[in-house]
A = this chain, B = another copy of it.
């Protein structure tokens, strides 16, 4: 047992008192004896940085401060837990803390995806820890398995559903047949989407997480700008109908991949887009606000991690794990894993990435159309795996053209984009409805 009188406590400053911050403060108080035993010293909350100091915040007034600079500079603060978001003022506060030798725990994915290098260097210079498990997939341990458990393996691919809002919307569309607009409205009404949902639905949040995952999986600095990104706003209920007919559903995926060319040269691809996923793939059944990450490594094979990717308590669980580890390092000596960027692999542009595609288009309903369409694929060596054609009727029940859905074998984004441009120029094609990728098949 720990003798609390004999050991110096570990001082903690929490920055931000939203859902996650409140839960972290609650656990620090409620689990104090357990945390002390696990750390080897008691954890003591020195203060909570907030924008609005008031007596209705659920924390004793004496602990609240709006002077974050002063809080992170206190001599009796050993670990700073940053839960303020967004990039600023979080960045400034974290740098100030690291410069003063404090260890830092953060859940700030946007910041970690743009300032990794800067923050990692500051941590290195200060011999302090920088933990960020909560930045990706909430309560699900992903950072630690990748940086530690797989430290002796070669990660080939990481593919995940890492944004709860978009997964909630897409799951609702799959289940109810709703279109994007009404599914988004429902998600907003239920609190699953923010007032301005741009960061989620346009894939920025998932792209930040993809950058973090790619960085640690491939020992290479990858930032959000390196991530190819498409959002879900153009996914239609017709796409879900086609997906269903193909034995698939549609998910917003964050994919990080080690691309190896014929000469053995390696590059990193990081990308976020909505994709068709076969129903039998483990990610297909991850529904609602849940997150899941599939990791494929050379020796380990395929691993999957599943759980709650957002919310106050689940995210607080990840933060607390990091906090205990950072505090333990303070007491027992040693440091957590540092940034590993030795591989310095180049980023592969999206145009070079081969994936399978699903293309849906409206065409004139007359002989020879399918052949003209197929020819455009053939010219660019995009091999067709499956075609579905169905007649369409207008509001009066009259025939009004046909819809062709083409599923391709692997082709590069460049070849496919050219093909789609050419298709759009064909007289017999009245519109390209959608172009989505197909992921998770063995072909």
State the A residues within 8 Å of B (CB).
1-2, 23, 27, 31, 34-35, 37-38, 133, 139-141, 144-145, 148-154, 219, 282, 297-308, 313-314, 316-325, 328-329, 332-335, 337, 340, 342-343
On whether the beta carbons of A300 and B304 are closer than 8 Å, the reply is no
A2-B342, A139-B303, A144-B145 given. 14 additional CB < 8 A pairs? A1-B342, A27-B153, A37-B343, A38-B219, A144-B144, A149-B318, A150-B321, A151-B324, A151-B325, A152-B320, A152-B324, A299-B320, A301-B314, A332-B335
Q: How far is the CB of A368 from chain B (nearest CB, A)?
A: 46
* Cβ-defined partner of A299 (8 Å) among B151, B302, B316: B316
On whether the beta carbons of A141 and B149 are closer than 8 Å, the reply is yes
Q: How far is the CB of A432 from chain B (nearest CB, A)?
A: 37
> Please, how many angstroms separate the alpha-carbon atoms of A68 and B261 in the complex?
43
Q: What residue of chain B has the Cβ atom nearest to residue A36's Cβ?
A: B342
Q: How far is the CB of A129 from chain B (nearest CB, A)?
A: 10
Whether A133 touches B149, Cβ cut-off 8 Å, given contacts A139-B303, A144-B144, A300-B308, is: yes
Residues on B with beta carbons closer than 8 Å to the beta carbon of A316: 299
> Please, how many angstroms separate the alpha-carbon atoms of A321 and B335 in the complex?
17
On whether the beta carbons of A144 and B140 are closer than 8 Å, the reply is no
Count this chain's copies in the assembly.
Answer: 2
> Please, how many angstroms separate the alpha-carbon atoms of A178 and B151 in the complex?
41
On whether the beta carbons of A149 and B332 are closer than 8 Å, the reply is no
Shortest Cβ-Cβ A-B pairs, 4 listed = A334-B334, A152-B320, A141-B149, A139-B300
On whether the beta carbons of A38 and B299 are closer than 8 Å, the reply is no
Q: What residue of chain B has the Cβ atom nearest to residue A299's Cβ?
A: B317
Residues on B with beta carbons closer than 8 Å to the beta carbon of A300: 139, 307-308, 313-314, 317-318
> Please, how many angstroms separate the alpha-carbon atoms of A364 and B332 in the complex?
68
Whether A313 touches B342, Cβ cut-off 8 Å, given contacts A31-B152, A37-B219, A320-B152, is: no
The interface centre, meaning the residue of A153, A298, A324 with most chain B CB atoms within 10 A of its CB, is A153
On whether the beta carbons of A301 and B308 are closer than 8 Å, the reply is yes
Q: What residue of chain B has the Cβ atom nearest to residue A340's Cβ?
A: B38
> Please, how many angstroms separate the alpha-carbon atoms of A90 and B401 in the complex?
74
Whether A306 touches B307, Cβ cut-off 8 Å, given contacts A154-B31, A301-B313, is: no
Q: How far is the CB of A178 from chain B (nearest CB, A)?
A: 23
* Cβ-defined partner of A317 (8 Å) among B34, B153, B305: B153
> Please, how many angstroms separate the alpha-carbon atoms of A328 and B145 in the complex?
16
